[in-house]
């Protein structure tokens, strides 16, 4: 791709980007939130047309007019948000849109073919399963299988590991290595430098829609070591020397206050009707951060939904503060289905939870000036990159959408914060900012329940850590006495 330019109303998302992918190469695309990574790959996958610039495939200049044309040319993309039909089976999703006659195709033969393909690349998935019943990791495997089945020799993955468990990440990296060894060229978008260095041959860094440069990983690792390499890439991304953030003394815990949230023997079912929470005892007091560690899929989602009032409890009790109603902030793990309304503007999204309240609403009328003032301030404070506050939230880049949800929730001066995977998809500086914000909220007396599959994040922020395993709290420890080995055992369900 050469000199690729793509403007949206108010933003130049790609500003003369150069990018080259070789056969059999795993090539990382790095850059801060909003740098233009997804846009560039959407162009390659035929979703957008560039305003100018050239795409050459195997030396030939091409125009990729639609996703269908991209597939015909061997380009497959696994998006940040999957695009599967939930009510269809895996196999139907894979052949969907493949032209006429697929309904008549021999199902048994197709299933067998998919099974073999899946096995060859370590993509465990049942062709007959209904997509709605699959975990996020399984759905991602379906997307990859779909691309391979359709003969992709260029595979694009947009932040594939953000939603995976550590074990699934390992499996995915194996699959990608196997594909690359067969000659598939892979574009790997990620914010996780360690992963990038472990997997990729080359890295191209984007900043503000421009190519900063391309780095050969093995070479740089040899001369700089892994820490030096990470520093180099981080510098290329932000365009200046990175210093450890000095956020002042927000890290000091305040004094412990009253219980704000108390779960006793809470039992709840999963979407599939299976027991997901099996007698949870948990308490969060004002002024503390309680970290819920554990491998994804052990009840995190259900715990979050039960506390947010989105999922019924089968047994046990859930109580908020005794002193009266609690102002709860919810940073949801799924920012699209729970956090934002894509078709509403950024400004509208900032007051979603306060539409009926002063100063945004007076005598039943929305006060747009007050809303705009608030939205403007929030966008600035949380560095949400958006052309304007009138832009629709669905147009924001992945990380900027997350920042918007965070800003809205933290601005409500919450007493209790339910933070589920709060830094998923954020770039390094945004993660630091969010961590600082959470620590500051704690210092001001908020109680925080932090549900995160990033163990590092749990260790950095929590005062107390509990481990969730198969719907139960397997262990609990004060942060200052934490024993990582013991945590690991609990996370694996052992004593
Ligand atoms: N369809 C669209 N309409 C309007 N603006 C868009 C659209 N798609 C992307 N943008 C804007 O283009 C810029 C680049 O977005 P892009 O999604 O490419 O960033 P990214 O590098 O993938 O970021 P992230 O790491 O947060 O996912 C952002 O400012 C975004 O708001
Ligand atoms: Mg993106």
Q: Hey, whose CA ends up nearest to atom 24 of ligand 1?
A: 33
User: pLDDT band at residue 108, thresholds of 50, 70 and 90?
Assistant: confident
Does 276 sit in the ligand 1 pocket, CB within 6 Å? no
| 272: pLDDT strictly greater than 50 | yes
The finding on whether 190 has its CB within 6 A of some atom of ligand 1 is: no
Mean pLDDT for all residues in the chain: 89
pLDDT of residue 418: 96
Residue whose C-alpha is closest to residue 260's, from 82, 449, 401, 106: 449
Strands 202-207 and 26-30: parallel
CA of 442 to the centre of ligand 2 (A): 30
Contacts of 77 (CB under 8 A, 6+ apart): 41, 42, 44, 45, 67, 70, 147, 155, 156, 157, 158
Write the pLDDT tens digit of every residue in 16-37: 999 999 999 999 999 999 999 9
> Distance, CA 18 to ligand 2 centroid (Å)?
17
How far lies 290's CA from each of 261, 441, 462, 463, in Å? 11, 13, 5, 6
Query: What topology does CATH give the domain 2-238?
Result: Rossmann fold (3.40.50)
Per-residue model confidence (pLDDT) at position 110: 86
Please report, for the chain, the start and end positions of each structural domain, with discontinuous segments joined by +: 2-238, 246-327+413-495, 340-412
Q: Determine the distance separating the centroid of ligand 2 and the alpha carbon of 11, expressed in angstroms.
A: 15
- Strand ranges across the sheet with 52-57: 11-17, 2-8, 52-57, 60-62
Given this chain, do its domains 2-238 and 246-327+413-495 carry the same CATH topology? Answer: yes
d(CA 86, CA 182): 31
Residue 40 CA: nearest ligand 1 atom is 18
Within a 10 A sphere around the Cβ of 238, how many other Cβ atoms?
17
Atom of ligand 1 nearest to the CA of 39: 18
Residue 303 has pLDDT above 80, yes or no: yes
Per cent of the chain over pLDDT 70 is: 93
Asked if residue 293 has its Cβ within 6 Å of ligand 1, the reply is no
- Integer Cα distance of 15 and 53 in angstroms: 10
Q: Which tens digits make up the pLDDT trace of 170-215?
A: 999 999 999 999 999 999 999 999 999 999 999 999 999 999 999 9
CATH for 246-327+413-495 (3.60.15.10, 3.40.50.300, 3.40.109.10, 3.30.420.40):
3.40.50.300
CA distance 304 to 284: 14
Look at phi and psi of residue 317 and say left if phi exceeds 0, alpha if psi is from -120 to 50, else beta: beta
Q: Which residues pair with 317 in a beta bridge?
A: 264
How many whole angstroms separate alpha carbon 163 and alpha carbon 386?
24
Higher pLDDT, 85 or 80: 85
Ligand 1 lined by 400 (C-beta under 6 Å): yes
| Cα–Cα dist 172/211, whole Å | 27
Centroid of ligand 2 to alpha carbon of 218 (angstroms): 26
Give yes or no for residue 475 CB within 6 A of ligand 1: no
Give yes or no for residue 35 CB within 6 A of ligand 1: yes
Evaluate: CB of 161 within 6 angstroms of ligand 1. no
C-alpha 334/C-alpha 81 separation (Å) is 10
Ligand 1, atom 19, residue with closest C-alpha: 34
Task: Name the residue with the closest Cα to ligand 1, atom 29.
Answer: 34
Residue nearest atom 27 of ligand 1, based on CA coordinates: 398
pLDDT, tens digit (0-9, with 9 covering 90-100), for 350-403: 887 776 666 676 767 777 888 899 999 999 988 899 999 999 999 998 889 989
Identify the residue whose C-alpha is closest to ligand 1 atom 16.
36
Nearest alpha-carbon partner for 71 in 81, 80, 83: 83
The residue nearest atom 28 of ligand 1, judged by CA position, is: 34
């Amino acid at each position: 791709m050469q000199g690729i330019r793509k403007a949206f109303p108010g933003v130049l998302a790609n500003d003369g980007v150069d990018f080259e992918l070789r056969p059999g190469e795993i090539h990382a695309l790095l850059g801060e939130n909003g740098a233009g990574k997804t846009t560039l790959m959407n162009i390659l996958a035929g979703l957008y047309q560039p305003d100018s610039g050239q795409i050459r495939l195997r030396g030939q200049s091409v125009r990729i007019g639609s996703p269908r044309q991209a597939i015909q040319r061997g380009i497959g993309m696994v998006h940040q948000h999957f695009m599967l039909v939930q009510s269809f089976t895996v196999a139907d999703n894979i052949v969907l849109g493949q032209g006429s006659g697929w309904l008549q195709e021999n199902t048994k033969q197709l299933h067998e073919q998919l099974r073999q393909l899946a096995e060859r690349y370590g993509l465990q998935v049942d062709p007959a399963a209904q997509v709605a019943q699959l975990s996020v990791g399984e759905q991602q495997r379906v997307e990859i299988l779909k691309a391979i089945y359709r003969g992709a020799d260029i595979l694009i993955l947009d932040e594939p590991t953000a939603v995976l468990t550590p074990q699934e990440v390992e499996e995915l990296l194996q699959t990608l290595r196997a594909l690359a060894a067969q000659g598939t060229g892979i574009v790997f978008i990620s914010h996780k430098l360690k992963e990038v260095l472990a997997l990729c041959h080359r890295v191209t860094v984007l900043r503000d829609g421009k190519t900063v440069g391309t780095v050969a990983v093995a070479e740089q690792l040899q001369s700089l070591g892994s820490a030096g390499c990470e520093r180099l890439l981080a510098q290329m991304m932000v365009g200046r020397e990175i210093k450890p953030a000095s956020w002042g003394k927000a890290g000091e815990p305040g004094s412990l206050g009253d219980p704000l949230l108390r779960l006793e023997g809470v039992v709840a079912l999963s979407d599939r009707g299976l027991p997901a929470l099996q007698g949870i005892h948990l308490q969060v007091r004002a002024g503390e951060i309680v970290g819920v560690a554990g491998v994804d899929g052990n009840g995190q989602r259900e715990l979050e939904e039960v506390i947010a009032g989105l999922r019924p409890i089968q047994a046990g009790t859930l109580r908020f503060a005794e002193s009266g109603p609690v102002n709860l902030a919810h940073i949801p793990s799924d920012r699209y289905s729970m956090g934002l309304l894509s078709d509403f503007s950024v400004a509208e999204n900032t007051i979603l939870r306060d539409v009926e309240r002063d100063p945004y609403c007076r005598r039943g009328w929305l006060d747009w000036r007050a809303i705009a003032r608030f939205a403007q301030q929030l966008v600035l404070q949380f560095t949400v990159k958006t052309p304007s506050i009138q832009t629709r939230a669905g147009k924001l880049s992945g990380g900027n959408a997350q920042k918007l949800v965070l800003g809205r929730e933290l601005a409500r001066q919450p007493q209790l914060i339910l933070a589920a995977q709060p830094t998923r998809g954020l770039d390094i500086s945004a993660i630091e900012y969010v961590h600082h914000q959470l620590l500051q909220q704690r210092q001001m007396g908020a109680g925080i329940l932090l549900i995160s599959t990033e163990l590092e994040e749990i260790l950095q922020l929590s005062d107390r850590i509990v481990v969730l395993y198969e719907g139960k709290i397997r262990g609990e420890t004060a942060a200052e006495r934490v024993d990582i080995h013991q945590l690991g055992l609990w996370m694996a369900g052992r004593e």
